[in-house]
Homo-oligomer: A and B are copies of this chain.
C-alpha cells in the first residue's frame, strides 16, 4: 500500500501560534483517495532541519507532501532547502506560474515586484503544478529508487490553507498516475439533531451486524452534525457501492429524518436544495447568532435565488422598531423567550415578504441576563401554515454556542420546510 507522510513547515506552528489544519485536511483527503498517511511532521523555518526531516520522511515513505515556507518573504526558506535536498544546480523560471502571479497581482491593482517574480523561480530538479489560487507554484520532486531505496516523490505545497487544499486534487491525481493506489469506496450520510452518544447507542445493533470489511467512522462537527462514513478498501467499486447502499437503506429506516443528506454535506446546502427552483423564499431574524445564520445561508452559491435578507437585531430597539416585536411581549416574557422568537420570525417575514423565516434569541455568553441560563436559545420558524418555536440549552462557551445555536436553527428550519413542502 502506498504510504505518505504529511509535513508542515513553519515556526508559527511549532511555537503554538497557529493551529495546523492543513495536515488534518490533507490527510483526510488522501485517506478518502485510498492513500494511507503514515506520519505527520511539523518542522520549523530552519534549512538544515527541513532537509534532514524531509530526507527522513522520504526514506520511509513513498510520498511526502509538505506545506508552507514558500512565501515571498525572507523567513520562507523551504525552496532553498528543497534545492539542496534534490541536488539542484540552479533555478528556472516557470512561465505559467509567472503569468498567474501577474494576473493575481494585476487583479488586485498591485505592481509585480522582484519578490513576487522570484516566486516563479523553481529548482531545476522539479516539475511544477501551477497554483492558480496563489503566487507560489506547487513543486514536484521525483526521486528514483537509487536515492532512498525506493521511488519517492515530494510535493511542496504553499502553506496558506486555501492554496494548500486547492492543490490537493491535482496532487492526488499525480500520485495515482505514479503509484499503485487501491480503490476505496466511501459513502457519507449526515445526521443532525442527536448527540453522538445517543446516536451511537441507537445504531449499535446495526453497527454490530455490519460485514467485517465495511468500516464505520463517526465524524462529529458542531456545524454540520455527525457525519457517518462507511468505507470498503479494495474490491470492485460497483459491487462495493451496492453493498454499502444496502447497509445505508437499513440505517435510513432507523434514523428517519434525522438524516439530512446522503452525501458529505451541510445544513445550509440541504436548505438550498429544498428551496432552489420552487419560487419559495427565505429570510432570517437573528439576535444571539449575530449574523451567523445569514452568513451560513449565503455561503451557498446561488443563495440569492431564494434568500431575500435578514435583520440582526442585537439591540431591543431594533427588535421593536425594525422587526415590529411588541414591547409588551419583551416586557412580559423577556427578550429570550419563545414568544419573542415567534414575533421576530413573523416580523422578518412581513418585512421582507419571504415565504419562510427563521429566528434566534438567546444567551451565547459569557454574560447572562439574570433570568435564563447562558447557553439558552429560543428558535422560531415561520411559514404560510404558521409559526413554531423551540428552546434548547447548551454550555457557557460563546464561540461554540453561536455555532451550535445557528446549526440547530438551520436544522429546525430544514425540518419545517420539509414538512411544509410535503403537505
Q: Is the beta-carbon distance between B20 and A72 smaller than 8 angstroms?
A: no
Contact of A41 among B40, B367, B398 (CB under 8 A): B40
- Most interface-central of A23, A25, A281, A291 (chain B CB within 10 A): A291
- Distance in Å: Cβ of A208 to nearest Cβ of chain B: 9
Give the copy number: 2
The answer to whether the Cβ of A274 comes within 8 Å of any Cβ in the partner chain is: no
The answer to whether B26 touches A16 (Cβ under 8 A) is yes
Cα(A216)–Cα(B71), bound, Å: 14
Q: How far is the CB of A318 from chain B (nearest CB, A)?
A: 4
Inside 8 A of A16's CB, which chain B residues have their CB? Answer: 24-31, 37
* Distance of A356 from chain B, by nearest CB (Å): 14
Q: Does A125 contact B (CB under 8 A)?
A: no
Within the complex, the shortest CB–CB distance from A35 to chain B, in Å, comes to: 10
Q: Do residues B310 and A312 form an inter-chain contact, with CB atoms below 8 A?
A: yes
Chain B residues with Cβ under 8 A from A304's Cβ?
314-315
Q: Contact at B218–A366, with CB atoms within 8 Å? A: no
Tell yes or no: A198 within 8 A of B by CB.
Answer: yes
In this complex, the interface size class of chain A, counting residues with CB under 8 Å from chain B, is 35 or more
Which of B49, B290, B308 is A294 in contact with, Cβ under 8 Å?
Answer: B290
Question: Cβ of B17 and Cβ of A38 under 8 Å apart?
Answer: no
Q: A12-B219, A16-B25, A309-B312 are in contact. List 8 more A-B contacts (CB 8 A).
A: A17-B219, A20-B23, A71-B196, A286-B291, A304-B315, A309-B314, A321-B351, A322-B351
Q: Is A253 located at the chain interface by the 8 A CB criterion?
A: no
Say which residue of B36, B301, B393, B395 sits within 8 Å of A109 (CB atoms): B393
Cβ of A423 < 8 Å from any Cβ of B? no
In the bound complex, residues from chain B placing their C-beta under 8 Å from that of A53 are: 39
Q: Is A64's beta carbon under 8 Å from chain B? A: no
**Contact segment of A85-93, A110-118, A170-178, A244-252:** A110-118
Bound form: Cα–Cα A37–B398 in Å: 31
Is A12 in contact with B115, judged by CB distance below 8 angstroms?
A: no
Flag whether A409 is at the interface (Cβ < 8 A).
Answer: no
Identity of the chain B residue whose Cβ is nearest the Cβ of A43 in the assembled complex = B39
Partner of A73, one of B14, B107, B218, B291: B218
Instruction: Judge if A375 is at the interface, Cβ distance under 8 Å.
Output: yes
Residues 185-202 of A, flagged 1 when their CB comes within 8 A of B and 0 if not, give 010000000011110110
Does A372 reach chain B (CB closer than 8 Å)? Answer: no
B290 touches A312 (CB 8 A): no
Is A317 among interface residues, defined by CB-CB distance under 8 A?
Answer: yes
Q: Does A21 contact B (CB under 8 A)?
A: yes
A196 contact from B12, B15, B27, B73, Cβ within 8 A = B73
Interface assignment of A181: CB less than 8 Å from any CB of chain B: no
Give min CB distance, A10 to chain B, whole Å.
Answer: 8
Contacts of A395 in B (CB 8 A): 104, 107, 133
Complex: A113 Cα to B18 Cα, angstroms: 40
* B residues less than 8 Å from A49 (CB atoms): 38-39
Given contacts A41-B41, A201-B115, contact A75 B218 (CB under 8 A): yes
Contact B394 A217 (CB under 8 A): no
A107 touches B311 (CB 8 A): no
